[in-house]
Amino acid sequence: MRLMIVLIAAIAMIVPGYSTQAHAEYSNKPIHWGFKKAKEGRQADAGKPLEKILEKHGAVYKGSPERKEIYLTFDNGYENGYTDKVLDVLKKEKVPAAFFVTGHYLETAEEQVYRMAKEGHIIGNHSWHHPDMTRTSDAKLKKELESVREKTAELTGNKQMVYLRPPRGVFSERTMNLAKELGYTHVFWSLAYVDWNTDSQKGWRYSYENIMRQIHPGAILLLHSVSKDNADALEKVIKDLKKQGYTFKSLDQYMLGETLKEPMLY
């Protein structure tokens, strides 16, 4: 027994992200988010094994297949000059969104972060340094998340932050459990495409067609604000989806349903 304890202590010292307490109940095996893309209005499908893990930890990736509702989200790792245009479109069309921000973004795009909050959008946690969370210890992961929360509160006055998107969609049951203990809900996505490569922008139609091809009831869209294609296509996407009978909802409305009124957008 004494030898076993010594071995466990040694492993905890040399293996990144190892936590004896967390590993007693939750696996730290990396899980990479993925799904079968939506087609012809049919919902995206992550498959039962992934969906069971999400359900176990209260995570989400799509809404009801019965409602033509859309949840618009952006990942903001750094500012590339297009977020203000995105915010202009959202304001004009009265559409709520969630922006998942990193520490770098908070330190270099303070005006945009303040504007997001002022205009009624949700700011979510994308970690401070954008690490592989499964290779980050419990203590460091808590610091990653708390640093984002504290800086966002400093910039916006809003101390509440409840949504988390793991960098690169890599997670484990350990990281999900830890985040949940800290008050976070994991938000994945059911619609995305390669839009983050700033050296390979292909024009607004590329963004538009990728979104419209995959759109489905209950879609949680993941878009990157560094993309000029996305910024240029966004207004037409929103207008055309509204014509198809879709409505845009906030993540808060998703989680709280009909008990929550429309968000106050300015």
- 154-201 pLDDT, tens digit per residue, is 999 999 999 999 999 999 999 999 999 999 999 999 999 999 999 999
Q: Please list, in sequence order, all residues whose beta carbon lies within 8 angstroms of the beta carbon of residue 238, skipping any fewer than 6 positions away.
A: 89, 93, 95, 248
Which of these is catalytic: 121, 126, 224, 232? 224
Residue found under tokens 């009801």: 64
* Residues 152, 158 contacting (CB under 8 angstroms): yes
Active site residue 75: yes
Note the pLDDT tens digit of each residue in 217-258.
Answer: 999 999 999 999 999 999 999 999 999 999 999 999 999 875
Active site residue 224: yes
- Residue 199 is classified by DSSP as G
* Residues 33, 169 contacting (CB under 8 angstroms): yes
Which of these is catalytic: 75, 195, 229, 232? 75
pLDDT at 74: 98
pLDDT at 262: 65
Alpha-carbon gap, residue 193 to 211, rounded angstroms: 8
* Residues 132, 170 contacting (CB under 8 angstroms): yes
| Sign of the CA dihedral running 109, 110, 112, 116 | positive
Note the pLDDT tens digit of each residue in 55-106.
Answer: 999 999 999 999 999 999 999 999 999 999 999 999 999 999 999 999 999 9
pLDDT at 66: 96
Q: What is the secondary structure of 228-263 as a DSSP string?
A: HHHHHHHHHHHHHHHHTT-EEE-HHHHHHGGGSPPP
Three-state DSSP at 189 gives coil
Structural domains of the chain ordered from first start: 2-259 (3.20.20.370)
- For 210, the token pair is 């990728």
pLDDT at 3: 36
- For 258, the token pair is 């009909």
